[in-house]
Amino acid sequence: MIRLRPSRRDDLPFITTLERHPDNRDLIGQWTDGEHLSAIAGENGREHWIVERDGERAGYLIAYDCRPSGAGIYVKRILVGDKERGTGSAALREFLANLFARPGVAFVWLIVRNENARAQAVYRKLGFTRFDPPPADERLYEGIDDAPADRCFRMKKLV
């Protein structure tokens, strides 16, 4: 059974060990301990969730509420340790179900690297499609520490 619970400070070693693992570090951005702790504390509208599988930590998910800028909810990062067992899909499905129950949420978006076919498969399966905002709106959809723009693209799912 997959569930999400808020991350805690004592989850930090689990989170950073997973993030910095050679299997993962070329696929996702790398945060300092301080950045994770800030998100765990909910600063700047950030949300940090632990993915649990059968009661054990299996991964994490970070999201921002970007509604004040009109840019919807941004899934900044999703990562699971034991891949291709359905954990990532179930965790994101759970996040989306809770998200869309919140008032005022119209859409959710994320950035994925061109070469990350597995993540793209998960997002498509859950209803995300590629979107390229018009140049005037691009600044709303920027991930500060993501891959260079020519190596990734954005995907979006409406409510």
Residue 106 binds ligand COA (CB under 6 A):
no
> What is the Cα–Cα distance from 92 to 75, expressed in whole angstroms?
9
Q: Kindly tell me which of 65 and 77 has the beta carbon lying closer to ligand COA.
A: 77
Of residues 71, 80, 108, 147, which one binds ligand COA by CB under 6 A?
Answer: 80
> What is the Cα–Cα distance from 39 to 46, expressed in whole angstroms?
5
**CA 9 to mean position of chain CA atoms:** 19
Of residues 21, 85, 102, 151, which one binds ligand COA by CB under 6 A?
Answer: 85
Of residues 50, 62, 73, 78, which one binds ligand COA by CB under 6 A?
Answer: 78
Residue 122 binds ligand COA (CB under 6 A):
yes
For 112, residues 6+ apart whose C-beta sits below 8 A from its C-beta are 119, 120, 123, 152, 153, 154, 155
DSSP 8-class letter at 27: T
Residue 159 binds ligand COA (CB under 6 A):
no
| 3 state DSSP class of 105 | coil
Residue 24 binds ligand COA (CB under 6 A):
yes
Residue 28 binds ligand COA (CB under 6 A):
yes
